[in-house]
Amino acid sequence: MVAEHTSPNVTGHHSVDVQTVIPNETNNQTKRNKRMNNNQMKLHGFSGGIESGERIPLANKTFNRQVSLGTGVTVLGMDKGFKDTCSSNGDGSASLHRSGTSLGRLRDGVGGGVPRKGDFSIFRTKSTLNKQNSLLPSRELDAHVSGLMQEDPVNKSVPAGRYFAALRGPELDEVRDSEDILLPKDEKWPFLLRFPIGCFGICLGLGSQAILWGAISSSPALSFLHITPIISLVLWVLALAVMIFVATTYSLKCMFYFEAIRREYFHPVRVNFFFAPWIACMFLAIGLPPAFAPARLHPAVWCAFVIPVFALELKIYGQWLSGGKRRLCKVANPSSHLSVVGNFVGAILAAKVGWLEVGRFMWAIGLAHYLCVFVTLYQRLPTNEALPKELHPVYSMFVATPSAASIAWKAVYGEFDAVARSFFFIALFLYISLVVRIEFFRGFRFSVAWWSYTFPMTTASLASIRYAEEAPCFFSKGLALGLSMTSSTMVALLFVSTLLHAFVWRSLFPNDLAIAITKDKNTSGGKQGKKSTKKTYDIKRWAKQAPFSLVSSITKSLSVDKDSDGHLTT
């Protein structure tokens, strides 16, 4: 308030005396309290130098209208501490990089604290996130944050075509240079996030080797080798120990990072590896050493291991049949044979428990879908995503299914007749067609998933032993011996390589980039609409840790404050 006093001077002009009127003590205190309430905000959930409940002055700035994320960050003074993680737009404003760097840096960069390496909570199990949200002071904030999490693209299924567009390689495990990911590439992720479903391939390789050496020691066609059953026993115990370790570790991943499990399930290649744990358990049951094996296994063993495979088949085969986005001609790849092999292995286990008719039922299901997969992969339909031109161990999966079909026929029908031999000859031809192109298998980065491609060679060796028993001659015995030694040699080399990568080079489990791709394509020079989608997603992720008042102003501005370039404006 000001007071004006006018007084004429000698020359007739008037002068104005402007003075400040000092209010009384009560009004002054009331206005001061009001100004402090408008200029302060209580932040919760922040770390890095800001204690819970600490009030931060907003430098006499108020949110009297909807503002953008950049403006809100500047007003709050949160741009200090992470200037190096932002890029200038030329007008003095800063924008976040889209190079996979987590927005968790923003939270810990407040107050000059040390930025956190990465925000991996987006892949955590929902129950864990709910426990963290329960620490927030307001129920209204909990409901609002939960709504944002439900809209989060991370929690939604990624289309199958998106994996083919964003990833490359026969296993679809390499991110294309033009793609961005949700997690930082240059930082080491938590171990459980780096532990893929493909680790069950180690159990497949060792379990099938235990069966192979048990067959060699007991087969009359290879009795001249005088192989002791102790080798099979040692391999079986090793396979059981590895199975327990891998199953326990992956169960922990399911508990703490279930969203990462969902990403692997929607992956068109890795979804087939969800059959691997149950097939590995069936291998352990089939290869049980004679010293511990009863005359006939209990039917509960078959039910425990085959029913989960059958349930997965109903889901996967139903997607192939329905003709949706995950129809067979779109997602078919060599690893799709894993979803078919389980039927033939289940038929062998059914014969072990005495359920021959059930085994024949499983064999028929496997045959029908094997023909579909085989034809689809061979003819390369125009609607199917192109397979990589280079050969890779993944192509050995072509050998697994016909070999398992011939062994299963012998198990459920009791003889290695013309049907079983026909499937064995198909497997033998495919095996030879890969061997003559052995030079194309070189030059690929080692992966733990390669273990899944050792059991096709072992299955072919077992089929050759059964053939040598039905048609004993020098050629059949030599073929069985050669394939068996080749299979065991490959498993031994992979075992040594795995130990070296795990304990010497410590590179066995690199960052699993395939599960961190975005739902929509986001590139620096892409379409403006998709850039806007990426920015909207970044804001929602950051807003999960922001106060409710700021979250409300930002989320409301998303629907009205977009310019023609897809950027948010104040």
Instruction: Please write the tens of the pLDDT for every residue from 331-341.
Output: 888 899 999 99
What is the pLDDT averaged over residues 147-174? Answer: 72
Contact 399, 431 (CB under 8 A): yes
pLDDT at 488 over 50: yes
What pLDDT does residue 156 have?
62
Q: Report the range of poorest mean pLDDT among 194-203, 484-493, 548-557.
A: 548-557
pLDDT, one tens digit per residue, over 439-451 is: 766 666 788 888 9
Q: Report the range of poorest mean pLDDT among 92-101, 337-346, 353-362.
A: 92-101
What pLDDT does residue 36 have?
53
The most confident of the ranges 64-78, 293-307, 546-560 is 293-307
Residue 512 CA to residue 167 CA, distance in Å, equals 12
Long-range contacts of 212-217 (CB under 8 A, 24+ apart): 212/458, 212/461, 212/462, 212/484, 212/487, 212/488, 213/488, 214/287, 214/289, 214/290, 215/462, 215/465, 216/465, 216/484
Q: Report the range of poorest mean pLDDT among 68-82, 108-122, 211-225.
A: 68-82
pLDDT, one tens digit per residue, over 83-137 is: 444 444 444 444 444 444 444 444 344 433 333 446 788 888 875 555 555 454 5
What pLDDT does residue 76 have?
47
Strands (E), 59-175: 86-88, 94-96, 167-168, 174-175
What is the pLDDT averaged over residues 159-183? Answer: 86
Contact 236, 288 (CB under 8 A): yes
Q: pLDDT grade, residue 382 (50/70/90)?
A: low
Helix axes 276-286, 338-353, angle to 10 degrees: 30
- The residue written with tokens 């050493």 in the block is 289
CA 45, 48, 54, 60 dihedral sign is negative
Q: Report the range of poorest mean pLDDT among 23-32, 175-184, 352-361.
A: 23-32
The alpha helices in 257-326, defined as continuous H runs, are: 258-266, 276-286, 299-322
What is the pLDDT averaged over residues 398-424? Answer: 96
Contact 68, 557 (CB under 8 A): yes
pLDDT at 472 over 90: yes
Of all residues in the chain, what percent carry a pLDDT higher than 90?
47
Q: Which residue has the higher pLDDT, 359 or 565?
A: 359
Neighbouring residues of 57: CB distance < 8 A, sequence distance ≥ 6: 39, 40
Looking at this protein, which amino acid is placed at residue 132?
Answer: Q
What pLDDT does residue 164 have?
85
What is the pLDDT averaged over residues 228-243? Answer: 96
Q: Which residue has the higher pLDDT, 516 or 21?
A: 516
Q: pLDDT grade, residue 42 (50/70/90)?
A: very low
Q: pLDDT grade, residue 161 (50/70/90)?
A: confident
User: Phi and psi for 386 in degrees, rounded to 5?
Assistant: -65, 135
* Residues facing residue 401 across a β-bridge: none
What pLDDT does residue 109 have?
41
Q: Which residue has the higher pLDDT, 326 or 467?
A: 467
What is the pLDDT averaged over residues 274-295? Answer: 93
**Helix H or strand E segment including 15:** strand 14-20
pLDDT, one tens digit per residue, over 537-564 is: 555 554 554 444 444 544 455 544 444 4
Max distance between CA atoms of the chain, in angstroms, equals: 138
Q: Which two tokens stand for residue 13?
A: 């002009």
What pLDDT does residue 70 have?
46
Contact 566, 182 (CB under 8 A): no
What pLDDT does residue 232 have?
95
> Chain centroid to CA 561: how far?
35
What pLDDT does residue 31 have?
54
> Chain centroid to CA 429: how far?
35
What is the pLDDT averaged over residues 345-355? Answer: 97
Residue 40 CA to residue 53 CA, distance in Å, equals 12
What pLDDT does residue 102 have?
42
What pLDDT does residue 321 have?
87
Residue 45 CA to residue 142 CA, distance in Å, equals 12
Mean pLDDT over each residue of the chain, to the nearest integer:
76
Q: Which two tokens stand for residue 451?
A: 């273990």
What pLDDT does residue 61 have?
45
Taking residue 139's Cβ as centre, other Cβ atoms within 10 Å add up to 8
What is the pLDDT averaged over residues 187-208? Answer: 95
Q: Which residue has the higher pLDDT, 40 or 402?
A: 402
pLDDT at 535 over 60: no
Contact 316, 341 (CB under 8 A): no
What is the pLDDT averaged over residues 289-298? Answer: 88
